[in-house]
Structure 1
Amino acid sequence: MGLPSTVLLVAGAAFLSHAVYSSYEHALLFSPSISSGNKHPLPLDIVLELLVSITVLCAGIVLAAPKLKPISWRVWAREKETEEKNVNIRRRKEEDAGLGAQVGNPFAGLEDGSRRGFLDVRGARKAFAEWVREGGGGGRS
């Protein structure tokens, strides 16, 4: 965050807090009675101070924000192709070293139909049914 954005944020926060305090004091000073309604609306200078403070705060936030990254399918596809080539080279090196293939497509778990991190209920039911058919149990007679 640079100096201009910090100055704008501090000034905007100060203006905003002053506008809020002024509106609170105005509400206490001119509290309307129940029968008469609100005869003393918020003064124009408090409303303008509030709008200026919000504008200054927004400008400070925009200046403090990091630069946006470009979104382009071309750039993304080029990075993925390069990454895939590097992954293939790395995978071959890992297989040669006996580490196994640990890298690759991060969406492979979704594409191959397996659900990593989830309990396979159907597989567990089949295994239990086979276990019961084989006579697995507590050995009761």
Structure 2
Amino acid sequence: MAVGATAINILGFVFLSHAVYSAYEHSLLPSASQPTPPSRLLPSFLDPRVNLPLDITLETLFSVLLLCVGVVLSSPELKPIQWNVWAGRLERSKEARATKEVGVGGGNPFAGVEERPGFLDIRGQRKEFARWVREGER
């Protein structure tokens, strides 16, 4: 689908470029420089200075729609939101099982949480405490 999405993006870009050029050329016409009648619906600061023809407006909207569809179709597959689903997929992959070093090309995604170099090592302290209790009994 990437080839089709690329073609849609290119087509949308061509249409958008043409619409921008057409709007620029229309703004240079002497008839476009005449003041437009004020709108009763819009406030004066939102009222356009140049009235664009309907075909340029429709071409601009069509090209933006094409670009939006092309970008959505060309985007990569979404990853799971839940951490455990992502980690389970990663741990089941061959690359993650073959990698032994953490942080290089895979490995256990929970290793950073399990090691926690900046946190207190409860297991290590529990072992030290058990050894201290055993030595104190002798």
TM-score range, shorter chain: 0.5 to 0.7
Mapping for residues 123-138 of structure 1, pairs under 5 Å:
none
Deviations 1:67-107 (A, max 9, x none): 1112224325657999xxx9xxx69xxxxxxxxxxxx8435
Aligned residue number for residue 12 of structure 1: 12
Aligned residue number for residue 71 of structure 2: 61
Deviation of 1:62 after TM superposition, in Å, equals 0.9
In the alignment, residue 111 of structure 1 is paired with which amino acid? Answer: F
Which has the higher Rg, Structure 1 or Structure 2?
Answer: 1
Deviation of 1:55 after TM superposition, in Å, equals 0.3
Deviations 1:49-70 (A, max 9, x none): 0000000011111111111112
Distance 1:76 1:111, change over 3 A: farther
Pairing 1:75–2:93 present: no
Aligned residue number for residue 125 of structure 2: none
TM-score with structure 2 setting the length: 0.53
In the alignment, residue 45 of structure 1 is paired with which amino acid? Answer: D
Deviation of 1:14 after TM superposition, in Å, equals 0.6
Deviation of 1:38 after TM superposition, in Å, equals 2.9
* SS of alignment partner, residue 60 of structure 2: helix
Aligned residue number for residue 97 of structure 1: none
TM-score with structure 1 setting the length: 0.52
Distance 1:41 1:66, change over 3 A: same
Structure 2 residue runs of 5 or longer lacking an equivalent are 38-49, 102-109, 121-138
Deviations 1:79-138 (A, max 9, x none): 7999xxx9xxx69xxxxxxxxxxxx843524435xxxxxxxxxxxxxxxxxxxxxxxxxx
Q: Is the 8 A contact 2:5 2:74 kept in 1?
A: yes
Q: Is the 8 A contact 2:79 2:86 kept in 1?
A: no
Q: Give the distance between the partners of 1:77 and 1:14, measured in 2 at CA.
A: 42
Which residue, out of 87, 106, 111, partners 2:119? 111
Identity across matched positions, percent: 46
Structure 1 residue runs of 5 or longer lacking an equivalent are 92-103, 113-141
Aligned residue number for residue 101 of structure 1: none
When the two chains are superposed, the root-mean-square deviation of aligned CA atoms in Å is: 3.3
